Amino acid sequence: MRVAQSFRFKTILFRLARMRSRALSAAVAVVVLSAFALSAHCQANKPQAKGEEEQKIPPPQDLVLETGDGVQLALTYYPSFQGKQAIPIVLLHGWKQTRNEYKDLAPALQALGHAVVVPDLRGHGESTRRKDARRDERLDAATMPPSQFALMVVEDMKAVKDFLWNKNNEGELNIDKLCIVGADMGASVALDFAWYDAVGYNYGGVYYGPLKLGRFVKALVLISPEWSFRGLPLRRAAADPAVQSDISMLILAGKRDAKAMGGAKRIYKVFERFHPEPTGDDKLDKQTLFLGGLDTSLQGTKLLDPRFNLGGLIADFIYRRLVKSSESQEWSWKERKFPHE
pLDDT at 40 > cutoff 60: no
User: What average pLDDT score do residues 25-45 get?
Assistant: 32
User: What average pLDDT score do residues 19-38 get?
Assistant: 30
**Band (14; pLDDT cuts 50, 70, 90):** very low
Three-state helix/strand/coil letters over the chain: CEEECCCCCCCECCEEEEECCCCCCCCCCEEEEECCCECHHHHCCCCCCCCCCEEECCCCEEEEEECCCCEEEEEEEECCCCHHHCCEEEEECCCCCCHHHHCCHHHHHHHCCCEEEEECCCCECCECEEECCCCEEECCCCCCCHHHHHHHHHHHHHHHHHHHHHHHHCCCCCHHHEEEEEECHHHHHHHHHHHHHHCCHHHCCCCCHHHCCCCCEEEEEEECCCCEECCEECHHHHHCHHHHHHCEEEEEEECCCHHHHHHHHHHHHHHHCCCCCCCCCCHHHHCCEEEEEECCCCCHHHHHCHHHCHHHHHHHHHHHHHHHCCHHHHCCCCCCCCCCC
Whole-number average pLDDT of the chain: 83
**Band (336; pLDDT cuts 50, 70, 90):** confident
Please state the CATH superfamily assignment of the domain spanning residues 2-324 in this structure.
Alpha/Beta hydrolase fold, catalytic domain (3.40.50.1820)
Q: Where are the domains of the chain?
A: 2-324
**Band (227; pLDDT cuts 50, 70, 90):** confident
- Write down the pLDDT at residue 338: 75
Give me the percent of the chain exceeding a pLDDT of 90. Answer: 69
pLDDT at 268 > cutoff 50: yes
pLDDT at 25 > cutoff 90: no
pLDDT at 183 > cutoff 50: yes
Q: pTM for the complete prediction?
A: 0.85
300-311 pLDDT, tens digit each:
999 999 999 999
- Write down the pLDDT at residue 202: 58
| Higher pLDDT pick, 76 / 18 | 76
- Write down the pLDDT at residue 5: 32
pLDDT at 51 > cutoff 70: no
